Amino acid sequence: MLVAILCHLALGSPGSAEESEASRAALRVHLRDGSVAVLTETHDLYLEASPRRGEGLLSFSRRFCSNEDAAALVAAENGGSNKLLAGIRYRIPFAVLESSYQVQVLGSLFEDDRAVAEGWQHRVLSANGHSRESLWNVAEWFTGQGENYRAIREKNALTDDDLTPGQVVLVPAHLLRPSLRSALPPSSPYHLEYSTDSTGEFAIYRLKPGEALYSSVVVRFTGRVFAEDVNALAQEVANRSGIGDVTDIPIGYEVKIPFNLLLPEYLPAGHPERQEYEQGLIASAQFSNVVTASRLRGVTVVLDSGHGGKDVGASVSGVWESLYVYDIMVRTMKILEGETAAKVIATTQDGKAHVVTQRDQLPYSKGHRVLTTPNYQIEDSRVGVHLRWYLSNSIYRQAVDNGGDADNVVFVSIHADTLHTSLRGAMDNNPGARNRSGTYGKSAAVYASRRELNERPQDSYSSRERVKSEGLSRELASNLLGAFHERGLAVHPDKPVREKVIRKRRAWVPAVLRYNAIPAQVLLEVCNLANSQDRKLMQTAKFRQEVAEAIVSGILSYYGQAEGDDPARVAAAGR
């Protein structure tokens, strides 16, 4: 290990230094990237990692740390030398680690810990039957300030600052390090009770004034948003609850929701499905975007608009999804090209060029084509979707092969859905890791004639790649929807960021994401065309421009740049 290996003349040979350090380590866990999480008998936490070939102290520190000044701290931790030796693992203090590594270190060392909505549940470790932890240690590890031990003691109603092996301590969410707070499952403002009868287990929710069975129970607690699903499940829940008239339910009525319909986060704490969901959140939260890019310099943005050509997508009252999301995509493209340094590539085009139409209601067109080589005039909706991800994967490989960072590429697919009429606003679909296993590829002649397929006919993704993509995509989606909020644009009220689509009792990741190699990817539903307010807005150039600006702002935020840091937006662009 490093500590004195850098200063081996003063501290001994590398072998003896490593043996000495290992003897003081209470626990050592190897992480997936080859680094090692360490907890010492003296309660120190740190990461050991080896430099890459030719990597200096500054680059090494930037790879693992969030603080630009971390190099000096890393050097001081390892004997004061600025020179790194190949094949040696160097100590990086836990406090300066980048957030995703902090989550990995704590999650690997304390494998029985759980992230819950209220905070972090920590199970005390033991050494030779005796606790090696105190409340001060717990506060220092999980909050960054040992002084927070008093608040933790009060929260857990403890009378002793020394902890016993196996004891579970809750570190309240508001005290946690930001890296750990981001790994918590969403807290629920809704009170549910749980019971069982001869039919099975169920949750109980008591309706409040102004709440309806459709939006306040089915949409909220089951995650269903499509009209046919919402209506069917509302009737199922009504029958289970003894409700004869779903339009006349008394305030405070006990609505029974079967466990098999509940989203996992609404199941009782400790339920296997909820635990699996929470552990998935922790795993994906270990990955966050560490790339910052002023004006998106070095970033490739792949923009996609849903459907197109003969596939008009959702259609309500003569409003075709394909027309209006394409207009938003082009507006987004123009802002990115005019105001940032990003490389912008669209997957589709209508006509000879990407042109913003200067009118509210858009003219009908079925001229969209996918920009593969050769282009594909969209005749078949499935072929159009599959060629999009083949094209996106080709763009991604080219960006990486040309020396770009894999995390310098993002994919945004723009859509508008038709959901239950009570719903409004934007919603993001992300690639949930559990729904992306397998090998993907197409072999029909329409695919085989495209260069992108011949470059790489099949793709498959490792568990780590899938989990990383889920984490990065959730972060990108949160930034996009945050930009919607900042502009006063409507956002879906319940779970607007989703890792899968649920329809007709089946869950899946949309194909344009499921097969996509780009790590940070979202399918953004900008509004609900079945809702009259959303549909009316969609037919205005002003709304579509605001959505495009929100998308750009969200991408800027994802790469660490607030919109105000960039040159002033060209207000008239595309209007």
For residue range 171-225, list pLDDT tens digits in order: 998 899 887 887 787 666 788 999 999 999 999 999 998 899 999 999 999 999 9
Segment 383-392 shows an average pLDDT of: 98
| Residue 111, pLDDT score | 86
Give yes or no: residues 16 and 117 share one domain: no
Give yes or no: residues 263 and 313 share one domain: no
Q: Choose the weakest-confidence range: 77-81, 230-234, 237-241.
A: 77-81
Give yes or no: residues 140 and 220 share one domain: no
Give yes or no: residues 151 and 197 share one domain: no
Long-range contacts of 53-56 (CB under 8 A, 24+ apart): 53/86, 55/84, 56/82, 56/84
Beta strands in 233-351, from DSSP E residues, in sequence order: 254-258, 300-305, 315-316, 319-320, 343-346, 348-350
Report the amino acid identity of residue 409. Answer: V
Answer whether residue 188 is part of any domain: no
Segment 277-287 shows an average pLDDT of: 85
**Is the pLDDT confidence value at 116 over 60?**
yes
Q: Choose the weakest-confidence range: 20-29, 211-220, 371-380, 525-534.
A: 20-29
Segment 28-50 shows an average pLDDT of: 88
Give yes or no: residues 366 and 478 share one domain: yes
| Residue 159, pLDDT score | 84
| Residue 570, pLDDT score | 34
Segment 154-182 shows an average pLDDT of: 87
Beta strands in 448-543, from DSSP E residues, in sequence order: 458-460, 497-498, 501-503, 506-508, 520-528
Give yes or no: residues 502 and 449 share one domain: yes
For residue range 4-17, list pLDDT tens digits in order: 322 322 222 333 34
**Is the pLDDT confidence value at 571 over 70?**
no
**Is the pLDDT confidence value at 87 over 50?**
yes
Answer whether residue 187 is part of any domain: no
| Residue 15, pLDDT score | 35
Domain that holds residue 37: 3-105
Answer whether residue 279 is part of any domain: yes
**Is the pLDDT confidence value at 117 over 90?**
no
Half-sphere exposure of 441 (CA within 13 A, CB side): 13
Using a 10 angstrom Cβ sphere, with 0-12 exposed, 13-18 middle and 19 or more buried, the burial of residue 253 is: middle
Total count of domains within the chain? 4
Give yes or no: residues 332 and 425 share one domain: yes
Give yes or no: residues 347 and 492 share one domain: yes
Q: Choose the weakest-confidence range: 126-140, 445-459, 517-531.
A: 126-140
Sign of the CA dihedral running 395, 399, 405, 410: negative
**Short-list 436, 429, 423, CA closest to 500:** 429
Enter the DSSP assignment of 54.
T
| Residue 533, pLDDT score | 97
Give yes or no: residues 405 and 277 share one domain: no
| Residue 362, pLDDT score | 97
Domain boundary among 161, 181, 201: 181
Give yes or no: residues 264 and 304 share one domain: no
| Residue 567, pLDDT score | 37
Domain boundary among 256, 283, 310: 283
Alpha carbon distances (Å) from 277 to 266, 272, 415: 11, 9, 27
Answer whether residue 291 is part of any domain: no
| Residue 24, pLDDT score | 53
What pLDDT band is residue 534 in, cutting at 50, 70 and 90?
very high
Give yes or no: residues 121 and 212 share one domain: no
Segment 511-531 shows an average pLDDT of: 97
| Residue 341, pLDDT score | 97
Q: Domain of 542: which CATH number?
A: 3.40.630.40
What pLDDT band is residue 53 in, cutting at 50, 70 and 90?
confident
Return the residue matching tokens 């196996």: 166
Domain boundary among 62, 86, 105: 105
**Is the pLDDT confidence value at 32 over 50?**
yes
Within 10 angstroms of residue 242's Cβ, the number of other Cβ atoms is 10
**Is the pLDDT confidence value at 563 over 60?**
no
Answer whether residue 290 is part of any domain: no
Please, what is the end-to-end C-alpha distance for the chain in angstroms?
60
| Residue 568, pLDDT score | 37
What pLDDT band is residue 134 in, cutting at 50, 70 and 90?
confident
Answer whether residue 288 is part of any domain: no
| Residue 187, pLDDT score | 66
Question: How many percent of the chain have pLDDT more than 90?
Answer: 65
Highest mean pLDDT among 72-86, 152-166, 244-258, 533-547: 533-547
**Is the pLDDT confidence value at 564 over 90?**
no
Q: Choose the weakest-confidence range: 151-160, 179-188, 276-285, 398-407.
A: 179-188
Answer whether residue 575 is part of any domain: no
Give yes or no: residues 165 and 238 share one domain: no
For residue range 312-371, list pLDDT tens digits in order: 999 999 999 999 999 999 999 999 999 999 999 999 999 999 999 989 999 999 999 999
**Short-list 332, 367, 328, CA closest to 349:** 367
For residue range 291-315, list pLDDT tens digits in order: 888 999 999 999 999 999 999 999 9
Please tell me the pTM assigned to this model. Answer: 0.74
| Residue 17, pLDDT score | 40
What rounded mean pLDDT belongs to the chain? Answer: 88
Answer whether residue 572 is part of any domain: no
What pLDDT band is residue 23 in, cutting at 50, 70 and 90?
very low
